């Protein structure tokens, strides 16, 4: 991902991006940060870039011409027709984790940093797509806010963080703040580390951490806690009535990724922000039409998951259907990790396995596999040092992408690979689940062998596209 920063103080940007994780991400090519000196583009022979505001008033304004030409110089080097241009201003929309996630999907971002009393409105109208503030206070310029955004967005770009320190599992995981942490020594200034953390009992430790997270969120961020509570209520009151069928929605909400698009007694629609997938559950037929109408307009092919057959009829009225896949959920309901034979070597796969994995797995695109590998979401089984099969996690968090090469089949590798992924999800506090095509007998047998519960009802993965090109459908 490339960050281009239009600024009068390029050294503030180049210095800010040199150290620690950002520095490493630049070195290994995951991101680039390019400051562009607006002063280099002024047509004024004294290199002036500012002037007095018409109508009077305090201070100076940055003029339109140098800002526009600096922008054009960046834009010319970007292939995409549209690129987001973010103007940092206290008058903008408040930056948050959700916005960071959304921006991390872009290939290029241009930041425009203001100074003095601001920038001539005409150039803002011409080039800016997003007005963003980092908080309700006024800084002397946009460089620090730009760096704040670059830092928060970069760590969500696949490959920037190590596989072990995944971006998913930190402060905003589950919509709750992180629990308190302790390191050695056991006692410091007469304060002891909470005994439960020394107990070695992982279940007790997880329960304590959850309790502490809740307490901390209630005390420090009641607004976040309210959001968390609403999700818990919907899970407990509505979705748990058929928990195997709705496990994708339950887990999306529990893992802090899902947002409500529609939330009534008769039906719930969850948007999984990470995967950009909409999941619809209608508990009666009445709200079906309204629920489909409420789906936001999006160009191109998209994935929608519907949990009732009658919802399909309404979906077909609005969308042109490319494919409908009936699936069932396979859910691992126990808390204990599965046994994996010691002689089977399973470990996470990096991006260097892209060609090999795409050569053996054709259900999803190469870009999709690439993103999952960079995010550390795939693991491989090795026999005598050679990759013999793999398993992974789909974008919306279900287990899948399972393949064992022909020559290595019938020796339990598929079961071990799936068990490995299940154990990984358990360690993260998730309920592991996967989707199985209803006619895939071999997979259904494997799920049952591993002790997973299969949902009685089926749900439908729909690949579809808007029939109408208008945004007011
Ligand atoms: N420029 C000055 N203050 C700012 C703020 N709070 N957010 C973004 N840009 C700014």
Write out pLDDT tens, residues 421-450: 999 999 888 999 999 999 999 999 999 999
Q: Is 90 in the pocket of ligand 1 (CB under 6 A)?
A: yes
For residue 303, pLDDT beyond 80: yes
Q: Is 145 in the pocket of ligand 1 (CB under 6 A)?
A: yes
Per-residue pLDDT reduced to its tens digit, 251-279: 999 998 999 999 999 999 999 988 889 99
- Burial label for 145, CB within 10 Å (0-12, 13-18, 19+), is buried
For residue 163, pLDDT beyond 70: no
Closest C-alpha to ligand 1, atom 10 = 89
Per-residue pLDDT reduced to its tens digit, 29-73: 999 999 999 999 999 999 999 999 999 998 999 999 999 999 999
* pLDDT score, position 171: 52
What distance in angstroms lies between residue 5's CA and the mean position of ligand 1's atoms?
Answer: 15
What distance in angstroms lies between residue 71's CA and the mean position of ligand 1's atoms?
Answer: 20
For residue 203, pLDDT beyond 90: no
* pLDDT score, position 159: 83
Task: Give rounded-to-5 percent helix, strand, coil for the chain.
Answer: 35, 25, 40
Per-residue pLDDT reduced to its tens digit, 99-155: 998 899 899 999 999 988 899 999 999 999 999 999 999 999 999 999 999 999 999
Q: Is 91 in the pocket of ligand 1 (CB under 6 A)?
A: no
Beta bridge partners of 35: 5
- Burial label for 380, CB within 10 Å (0-12, 13-18, 19+), is buried
| Residues of each annotated binding site for S-adenosyl-L-methionine | 114, 134-139
Q: Are strands 108-113 and 84-94 parallel, antiparallel or unpaired?
A: parallel
Considering Cα of 439, then 443, then 449, then 450, what sign does the dihedral take? negative
Closest C-alpha to ligand 1, atom 4 = 90
Instruction: Please name the residue that has the structure tokens 């730009």.
Output: 146
315: tokens are 């979906």
Categorize the per-residue pLDDT at 169 as very low, low, confident or very high, splitting at 50, 70 and 90.
very low
Categorize the per-residue pLDDT at 189 as very low, low, confident or very high, splitting at 50, 70 and 90.
very high
> Which residues are CB-neighbours of 98 under 8 A, at least 6 positions away?
273
* pLDDT score, position 170: 47
Transcribe 310-338 into DSSP letters: HHHHHHHHHEEEEEEEEEEEEE---SSPP
Residues 231-236 have a mean pLDDT of 98
What is the rounded CA–CA span in Å between residue 357 and residue 391?
A: 10
What is the rounded CA–CA span in Å between residue 473 and residue 223?
A: 33
What distance in angstroms lies between residue 134's CA and the mean position of ligand 1's atoms?
Answer: 6
For residue 472, pLDDT beyond 70: no
* pLDDT score, position 172: 57
What is the rounded CA–CA span in Å between residue 464 and residue 456?
A: 25
pTM: 0.85
For residue 415, pLDDT beyond 50: yes
Categorize the per-residue pLDDT at 98 as very low, low, confident or very high, splitting at 50, 70 and 90.
confident
Determine the atom of ligand 1 nearest the C-alpha atom of 135: 6
* pLDDT score, position 114: 96
Q: Is 451 in the pocket of ligand 1 (CB under 6 A)?
A: no
225 close to 217: Cβ distance less than 8 angstroms = yes
Residues 206-217 have a mean pLDDT of 95
**For 29, which DSSP code?**
T
For residue 168, pLDDT beyond 60: no
Q: Is 93 in the pocket of ligand 1 (CB under 6 A)?
A: no
Q: What is the overall mean pLDDT for the chain?
A: 94
For residue 173, pLDDT beyond 70: no
For residue 470, pLDDT beyond 70: no
Q: Is 136 in the pocket of ligand 1 (CB under 6 A)?
A: no
What distance in angstroms lies between residue 36's CA and the mean position of ligand 1's atoms?
Answer: 19
Categorize the per-residue pLDDT at 164 as very low, low, confident or very high, splitting at 50, 70 and 90.
very low
What distance in angstroms lies between residue 102's CA and the mean position of ligand 1's atoms?
Answer: 20
Please give the domain boundaries of the chain with CATH numbers for all domains: 2-154 (3.40.1280.10), 173-220 (1.10.1270.20), 243-332+460-466 (no CATH), 345-430 (3.40.630.30)
CA distances from 141 to 125, 137, 158, 174 (A): 19, 12, 30, 34
415: tokens are 């079961």
For residue 467, pLDDT beyond 80: yes
What distance in angstroms lies between residue 131's CA and the mean position of ligand 1's atoms?
Answer: 10
Phi, psi of 428 (to 5 degrees): -90, 0
Per-residue pLDDT reduced to its tens digit, 322-380: 999 999 999 999 999 999 999 999 999 999 999 999 999 999 999 999 989 988 899 99
What is the rounded CA–CA span in Å between residue 35 and residue 3?
A: 8
Residues 14-25 have a mean pLDDT of 89
Q: Is 22 in the pocket of ligand 1 (CB under 6 A)?
A: no
Beta bridge partners of 94: 133
Closest C-alpha to ligand 1, atom 6 = 90
Helix (H) or strand (E) run with residue 85 in it: strand 84-94
Determine the atom of ligand 1 nearest the C-alpha atom of 134: 7
Categorize the per-residue pLDDT at 473 as very low, low, confident or very high, splitting at 50, 70 and 90.
very low
What distance in angstroms lies between residue 139's CA and the mean position of ligand 1's atoms?
Answer: 5
């Amino acid at each position: 991902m490339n960050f281009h920063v239009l600024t009068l103080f390029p050294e503030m940007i180049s210095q800010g991006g040199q150290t620690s994780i950002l520095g490493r991400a630049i070195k290994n090519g995951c991101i680039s940060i390019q400051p562009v000196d607006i002063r280099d583009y002024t047509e004024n022979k004294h290199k002036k870039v500012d002037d007095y505001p018409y109508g009077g008033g305090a201070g100076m304004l940055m003029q339109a011409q140098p800002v526009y030409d600096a922008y054009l110089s960046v834009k010319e080097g970007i292939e995409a027709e549209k690129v987001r241009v973010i103007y940092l201003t206290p008058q903008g929309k408040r930056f948050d984790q959700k916005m960071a996630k959304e921006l991390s999907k872009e290939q290029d971002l241009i930041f425009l940093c203001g100074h003095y009393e601001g920038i001539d409105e005409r150039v803002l109208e011409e080039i800016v797509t997003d007005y963003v503030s980092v908080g309700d206070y006024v800084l002397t310029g946009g460089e620090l806010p730009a760096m704040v955004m670059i830092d928060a967005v970069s760590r969500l770009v696949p490959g920037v963080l190590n596989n072990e320190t995944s971006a998913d599992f930190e402060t905003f995981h589950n919509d709750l703040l992180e629990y308190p942490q302790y390191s050695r020594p056991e006692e410091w200034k007469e304060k002891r580390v909470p005994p439960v953390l020394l107990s070695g009992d992982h279940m007790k430790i997880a329960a304590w951490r959850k309790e502490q997270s809740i307490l901390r969120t209630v005390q420090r961020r009641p607004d976040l806690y309210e959001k968390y509570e609403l999700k818990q209520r919907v899970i407990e009151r509505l979705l748990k009535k058929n928990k195997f069928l709705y496990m994708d929605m339950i887990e999306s909400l529990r893992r802090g990724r899902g947002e409500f698009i529609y939330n009534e007694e008769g039906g719930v629609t969850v948007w999984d922000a990470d995967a950009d997938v909409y999941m619809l559950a209608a508990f009666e037929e009445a709200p079906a039409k309204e629920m489909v109408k409420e789906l936001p307009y999006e160009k191109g092919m998209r994935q929608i998951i519907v949990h009732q057959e009658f919802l399909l009829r309404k979906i077909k009225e609005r969308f042109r259907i490319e494919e409908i896949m009936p699936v069932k959920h396979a859910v691992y309901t126990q808390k204990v990790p599965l046994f994996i034979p010691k002689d089977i070597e399973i470990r996470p796969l990096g991006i260097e396995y892209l060609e090999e994995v795409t050569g053996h797995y054709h259900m999803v695109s190469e870009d999709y596999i690439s993103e999952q590998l960079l995010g550390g979401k795939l693991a491989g089984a090795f026999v005598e040092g050679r990759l013999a099969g793999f398993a992974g996690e789909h974008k919306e968090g279900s287990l899948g992408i399972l393949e064992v090469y022909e020559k290595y089949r019938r020796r339990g590798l598929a079961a071990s690979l799936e068990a490995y992924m299940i154990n990984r999800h358990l360690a993260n506090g998730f309920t592991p689940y996967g989707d199985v095509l209803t006619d895939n007998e071999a997979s259904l047998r494997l799920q049952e062998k591993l002790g997973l519960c299969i949902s009685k009802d089926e749900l439908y993965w729909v690949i579809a596209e808007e029939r109408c090109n208008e945004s007011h459908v």
